Amino acid sequence: MSDWTEAADKLAAQVTSDAPEWRDAVSATPRHVLVPRWWEPTRKRPFEWQLVAPDAADPWSRVYSDETLVTRVGALHADHAGPEGRAHGAPTSSSTLPGLIVRMLHLLDAMPGQRVLDIGTGSGYSAALLGYRLGDDRVTSVDVDPYLVQVARELLATFRRAPEIAAVDATGEVPGDDYDRMIATVSVRPVPASWLSALRPGGRIVTTIAETSLLVCADLGRDRVARGHVQPDPASFMRTRSTADYPARLNEVYAAARDADGDEVRSLTQPVPNLWTDWELRALYELDSAGIEHRSATDEDEQAIAWLLAADGSWARAEEATGMVHQSGERRLWDDLERVRARWDEAGRFPLHELAVEFTPETTSVTSPDGRWTIQL
């Protein structure tokens, strides 16, 4: 047994204990072929990344660990890194941690003979697992990036995996139809109508809602409406994109919000939440008020400060030390957050896996367990 297969077997044992049907696929898939190099944060400057290649003395431990390996930052793929081995920006492609992929595949419940659309080819790892278990002729994988598609196709072929792979924007039309299953390792909001059109009645979608960490599983009825639920535990994926990179962060809005007095200044009515750790509140707020960028810090006395930023220039800053909220612009972002928090409190702070989801060709919606709170996306 070669070293990589021993490492792959160990990874498979780790990540498939609740999904034993995928153990052989994980054991047989050479992840190191698909991810020969990757990026990791330097920890020195925000959004600065350094190139990583396997250590010759220990080539398998990182690539066969249950972690996400970022392969593209901004428009720069690790394959194209310069001699300085640095990149700057936000991740735009990665090889997702295998444990999450296996968890989603288990939810997908695809059986041999069924046709699957894999949305977000990336490194090709999920397409490789699907092809191994279901047969390459049953798998179609798509990605918006032609380079990722080309490289995944070439690298998969080196170990005799040959699913159909196409470069398309999956928010538009997708290739083929009458799929039994769809799995998306990119996040969307809303679920595109084209996905429902390409799925047969009784088929299943497993995906995430953009910026919310909500993993959802839904089955398509004969009425062409997919119904299901949010799943326990968060799962985050990059949002679908149609360009080489994502829009720039709202640094100019943050500069205005950092220390300035707002158009409105009032007292805090509740403690400043940490939206990085309180993912459920963050998810509900994002469902209600899409596209709000949040940042947080602590002052010299370890008192929390939080900023909410919108692309139209609206902003809010909440300061634990002063007990004050500053807000400016067309929208009152902190008021929106407090309204969502109050609504959740009134509903008993239900766990988010109790949210029901519904996808129609026109809308995506989530509904509280008591049915009294529905958010249309």
Residue 1 binned pLDDT confidence (cut-offs 50, 70, 90): very low
Q: Please report whether residue 258 resides in a domain.
A: yes
Q: Is 126 one of the annotated active-site residues of the chain? A: no
Other beta carbons within 10 angstroms of residue 345's beta carbon come to: 10
Report how far residue 123's alpha carbon sits from residue 128's, in angstroms, rounded to the nearest whole number.
10
Q: Give the end-to-end CA distance of the chain in Å, rounded to a whole number.
A: 50
User: How do residues 269-284 score in pLDDT, each as one tens digit?
Assistant: 989 999 988 999 999 9
pLDDT of amino acid 244: 79
Report how far residue 268's alpha carbon sits from residue 327's, in angstroms, rounded to the nearest whole number.
12
Length in residues, the chain: 377
39 neighbors 71 (Cβ within 8 angstroms): yes
Mean pLDDT for the chain? 95
Report which residue type is found at 271: P
Q: Range of 313's domain?
A: 251-346
Q: Please report whether residue 183 resides in a domain.
A: no
| Global pTM value | 0.94
Report how far residue 282's alpha carbon sits from residue 344's, in angstroms, rounded to the nearest whole number.
12
Q: What is the mean pLDDT of residues 102-131?
A: 97
200 neighbors 178 (Cβ within 8 angstroms): yes
Q: Please report whether residue 279 resides in a domain.
A: yes
How much of the chain exceeds pLDDT 70, in percent? 99
pLDDT of amino acid 324: 96
| Structure letter (DSSP) for residue 58 | B
Task: Name 259's Cβ contacts closer than 8 Å, sequence gap at least 6.
Answer: none
Residue 247 binned pLDDT confidence (cut-offs 50, 70, 90): confident
Residue 124 has pLDDT above 90, yes or no: yes
197 neighbors 361 (Cβ within 8 angstroms): yes
88 forms bridges with which residues in the sheet?
Answer: 48
Q: Please report whether residue 26 resides in a domain.
A: no
Residue showing tokens 């398509």: 220
Short-list 158, 142, 143, CA closest to 30: 158
pLDDT of amino acid 245: 81
What CATH number is associated with residue 260? 3.30.160
Q: What is the mean pLDDT of residues 254-259?
A: 94
Residue showing tokens 């497993």: 206
Alpha helices in 266-332 (DSSP H): 279-288
pLDDT of amino acid 220: 98
User: How do residues 63-82 score in pLDDT, each as one tens digit?
Assistant: 999 999 999 999 999 999 99
Residue 144 has pLDDT above 80, yes or no: yes
Q: Please report whether residue 218 resides in a domain.
A: no
341 sits in which H/E element = helix 333-346
Domain count within the chain: 1
Residue 299 has pLDDT above 90, yes or no: no
Residue 2 binned pLDDT confidence (cut-offs 50, 70, 90): low
Active-site residue, selected from the candidate residues 93, 126, 314, 368:
93
User: How do residues 307-338 score in pLDDT, each as one tens digit?
Assistant: 999 999 999 999 999 999 999 999 999 999 99
Of 9-18, 42-51, 182-191, the poorest mean pLDDT is in: 42-51
346-355 — which CB contacts under 8 Å span 24+ positions? Answer: 347/372, 347/373, 351/232, 351/280, 352/214, 352/230, 352/280, 352/283, 352/284, 353/229, 353/230, 353/231, 353/232, 353/233, 354/229, 354/230, 355/214, 355/229, 355/230
User: How do residues 215-229 score in pLDDT, each as one tens digit?
Assistant: 999 999 999 999 999
Sheet holding 293-298, edge to edge: 264-267, 324-328, 315-319, 304-309, 293-298
Q: Please report whether residue 257 resides in a domain.
A: yes
Pairing of strands 116-119, 179-188: parallel
Q: Please report whether residue 177 resides in a domain.
A: no
Q: Please report whether residue 311 resides in a domain.
A: yes
